[in-house]
Amino acid sequence: MKSETHIPIQRALISVSDKTGIENFARALTQAGVELLSTGGTYGALKKAGIAVREVSDYTGFPEMMDGRVKTLHPKIHGGILALRDVAAHTGAMSEHAIQGIDLVVVNLYPFEATIKKRGVTREEAIENIDIGGPSMVRSAAKNQRFVGVVTDPADYGRVLDEMQKHAGGLSLTFKRELALKAFALTARYDAAISAWLFETEAQHAQPDASPFPESCALVGRKVADLRYGENPHQKAAFYGLDACGEPALASARILNGKTLSYNNLVDLDAALALAKEFDEPFVAVLKHNNPCGAALAPDVAAALEHAWDGDPVSAFGSVLAFTRTVDLRSAEYLVSGNRFVEAIVAPGFDDDAFKLLTEKPKWGKSVRLLAVGDFGSASRDARDLEVKKLVGGFLVQERDLRAAGEGDCKVATKRAPTDEELVGLLFANRIAKHVKSNAIVLTQGTRVRGVGAGQMSRVDSVHIALRKAGVHARGCVLGSDAFFPFPDGVELALEAGVTAILQPGGSVRDSEVIAACDKHGAAMVFTGTRHFRH
């Protein structure tokens, strides 16, 4: 017997939903002397292309039935895949029952994930696109990887043919193990998608007090890219995308220019995009180390960019930007002028002249990463997409914080109510504070950020930082806080610096002292009743 790693492939079973490249691959296999078995639509396509192929029902002596639900679930199929060729009892059973060995399984699965993404898809249609025979064959072949190759990705067809040429018509054990790993990853991802969809579907009819989370939770992604390193150079890292994501995201973005994205770039860009999705108007966010250092709404994105950058121009150098509109030439000209530079920009798209300037300007062209995600807004956010935080030995899952207070949610707590202009600034500050690490303090002037205090262990320290960042602009600003003030000290510090109105959730045992401090200064304070911690 030849080395098991180089056994020539004599028989292949082909059954694919995605028929990309299958005719050329199948023809090359037959030219290499491989007998082909196939089913249903794949058999018809190969036959029509003039490729010699035997129908599975002819081989098994058992017809396809039940609208194709039963066709490959047969001992002559799975016995031919699973048999250990070096175990006498297995080869004896093959001889006794006229089972021929199947050395290569070429299968991809019914398009379940694509089906459930279609608008108006019915439950029955989704159920019918749950593949049974395909995963069974894939798992059988992957289990018996010493003797059987399994191909689930059309991108591997050429590699299989190259391997066969190198190894006298066979595949190396190393390559078969690689294919098996890819196959099990596919079935894991496929089953996870089915499980998640079934849970979401049933949750719509669940009792009001039922948990919104399943008893078991599978998180399976598709690798988008290996990264140069993680947060630090000594940490290895990779980026995975979730196929079920229903909104514009980094995993599906078109990378138009620049150096390879780093781990930290991706973390910052994701945070920037999440903040931008709060707004439907022209808006620009400037983020550094996962926190906004500047942000602004304006009649157009070029003006929004200038106001956002001016929020903290020192921190803005080397930041990432998110735009809610296509990046135009005026925005690009502003960025490349003066001593400005950013690591990456994510936006719906880039005007041709803006793209040309950003990619041809010295210092910018080879470095700045430009990502286009298509149009988005607050309505594009998918509430079904959950947040996951990994812990050692487990992970936490929660709903995304998509709530944003409106005018009707604000309860005036002080003697003076905020003016219309102050209220606009307060509600803007509240949306920004949602995306600032706790303890979060945001000072705004109209719809532009003037100062941010983030990630401090005490709220009063965050107030100090926000005031220092705002500088002379602090006077006349309004303040948004992600959580209540446990003491009046932070409020008093802000009011003494000229802050005129404050928004916070309320709920402290010392709320009365905080309110009294505002009343003493003639300032307005509103309670939203909603906290926005971000750890």
- What does each of the 535 residues of the chain score in pLDDT, given as a tens digit? 444 447 899 999 999 989 999 999 999 999 999 999 988 889 999 999 999 998 888 787 666 766 666 666 688 888 889 888 888 898 888 888 888 889 999 999 888 888 887 888 888 888 888 888 889 989 999 999 999 999 999 999 999 999 999 999 999 999 999 999 999 999 988 888 888 888 877 766 667 777 878 787 777 788 899 999 999 999 999 999 887 677 899 999 999 999 999 999 999 999 999 999 999 999 999 999 999 999 999 999 999 999 999 999 999 999 999 999 999 999 999 999 988 999 999 999 999 999 999 999 988 988 999 999 999 999 999 887 889 999 999 989 898 999 999 999 999 999 999 999 999 999 999 999 999 999 999 999 999 999 999 999 999 999 999 999 999 999 999 999 999 999 999 999 999 999 999 999 999 999 999 999 999 999 999 999 999 999 9
Closest-CA residue to 313 (of 290, 346, 335): 335
Backbone angles phi, psi at 338, to 5 degrees: 65, -165
Cα distance between residue 373 and residue 256, in whole Å:
11
Which residues neighbour 271 within 8 Å (Cβ) at sequence distance 6 or greater? 287, 290, 291, 435
Closest-CA residue to 523 (of 500, 491, 490): 500
Q: How many helices (H) and strands (E) does the chain have?
A: 19, 21
H/E stretch holding 441 reads: strand 441-445
Residue 2 has a pLDDT of 45
- Active-site residue among 90, 143, 167, 361? 143
Closest-CA residue to 27 (of 58, 49, 43, 10): 49
143 is catalytic: yes
* Helix, strand or coil, per DSSP, at residue 342: strand
Cα distance between residue 218 and residue 213, in whole Å:
11
Backbone angles phi, psi at 435, to 5 degrees: -110, 15
The CA-atom distances, in angstroms, between 66 and each of 63, 71, 242, 248 are: 10, 9, 33, 39
Q: Are 472 and 495 in contact (CB under 8 A)?
A: no
Residue 1 has a pLDDT of 41
H/E stretch holding 223 reads: strand 222-227
Which residues neighbour 176 within 8 Å (Cβ) at sequence distance 6 or greater? 5, 145, 146, 148, 149, 150
Residue 121 has a pLDDT of 83
Question: Amino acid letter at 158?
Answer: G
Cα distance between residue 452 and residue 441, in whole Å:
6
How many other C-beta atoms are found inside a 10 Å radius of the C-beta of residue 251?
Answer: 18
Cα distance between residue 157 and residue 211, in whole Å:
45
Q: Are 364 and 386 in contact (CB under 8 A)?
A: no
Residue 3 has a pLDDT of 45
Domains and CATH numbers, the chain: 4-196 (3.40.50.1380), 222-380 (3.40.140.20), 408-527 (3.40.140.20)
289 is catalytic: yes
Count of CA atoms in the C-beta half-sphere (13 A) of 395 = 11
DSSP state of 260: P
Q: Are 395 and 510 in contact (CB under 8 A)?
A: no
pTM of the predicted model over 0.75: yes
- For the chain, the farthest-separated pair of C-alpha atoms sits apart, in whole angstroms, at 96
Closest-CA residue to 499 (of 417, 444, 435): 444
Residue 133 has a pLDDT of 84
Cα distance between residue 149 and residue 9, in whole Å:
9
Residue 211 has a pLDDT of 82
Q: Please provide the distance, in angstroms rounded to a whole number, between the alpha carbons at the two ends of the chain.
A: 61
- Active-site residue among 6, 182, 289, 521? 289
Specify burial of residue 420 (Cβ count, 10 A radius: 0-12, 13-18, 19+).
Answer: exposed
Which residues neighbour 96 within 8 Å (Cβ) at sequence distance 6 or greater? none
Cα distance between residue 141 and residue 160, in whole Å:
15
Cα distance between residue 172 and residue 160, in whole Å:
10
Residue 72 has a pLDDT of 66
Backbone angles phi, psi at 92, to 5 degrees: -65, -40
Give just the sign of the alpha carbon dihedral 45, 47, 51, 56.
positive
Cα distance between residue 65 and residue 57, in whole Å:
10
Residue 4 has a pLDDT of 47
Q: What is the DSSP string of 54-87?
A: EEHHHHHT---BTTTTBSS-SHHHHHHHH--TT-
Cα distance between residue 272 and residue 342, in whole Å:
13
Buried b (16+ CB within 10 A) or exposed e, 451-476: bbbbbbeebbebbbbbbebbeebbee
Cα distance between residue 7 and residue 16, in whole Å:
24
Q: What is the DSSP string of 77-116?
A: HHHHHH--TT-HHHHHHHHHTTPPP--EEEE----HHHHH
Helix/strand/coil (H, E, C) string of 11-33? EEEEECCCCCCHHHHHHHHHHCC
Residue 71 has a pLDDT of 64
How many other C-beta atoms are found inside a 10 Å radius of the C-beta of residue 302?
Answer: 22
Q: Are 36 and 51 in contact (CB under 8 A)?
A: yes
